Amino acid sequence: MMIFFKERLAFLAVPKTGTSALENALGPKASVIFRDPPGIKHTNARSFEAKYRQLFERGNLPPLETMAVMREPVEWLGSWYRYRQRPALNGHQNSTAGLSFDDFVAAYLSDVQPAFANVGQQSRFVTDQSGDLLINHLFSYHDLAAAIRFLEDRLDRQISLKSINQSPKQDISLSPALSAELRKTCALDFEIYQALQDGPLSIA
């Protein structure tokens, strides 16, 4: 999470959406950066509104607006799966070594998720309890150019991204049955991402 106080903007970092690269590029401009622990670094919209907004509001200033980036749901899970296959996690409860992507998604969809599949849900990151969008400016991971244009205009600076924390490429195709179950269970994720195909989403 990064706060740009003068520009009245809070960047909320949805995991596995290029946030490390953006943090690296924008860090010198940010008023505040929450890097650790992960639960604070990746503060979701609900927690931001409940715990942090009041810290940065001033009576004579406009309220902070929030922005975030969302990734296609299967690809997002695939990024987690690949990231947790790295050798540094061998033997750890979060490791996905030796598992197929189907195994990972089946565990993710289970009633009691094992540690390696407990990665949250993007829709819960960007919506309120009713499932309504709680982010002022939401961008698609596949249209980062739009997010960068928005940030360049808002922060009045050019932005150059460098790849950070990229996981090795792997096949993340799903069996038809698991694909259907995922789309049913995570319907809101797919609905929001589909809406982003027409361009960034904004709320007043």
For residue range 85-139, what is the model confidence (pLDDT) as tens digits? 999 999 999 999 999 999 999 999 999 999 999 999 999 999 999 999 999 999 9
Average pLDDT, the chain: 93
Cα distance between residue 82 and residue 61, in whole Å: 43
Quick one: which of 96, 95, 119, 89 has its CA closest to 15? 119
For residue range 1-47, what is the model confidence (pLDDT) as tens digits? 999 999 999 999 999 998 888 888 898 889 999 988 888 899 999 99
Give the chain's length.
204
pLDDT at 202: 94
Q: How far apart are the first and last CA of the chain?
A: 21
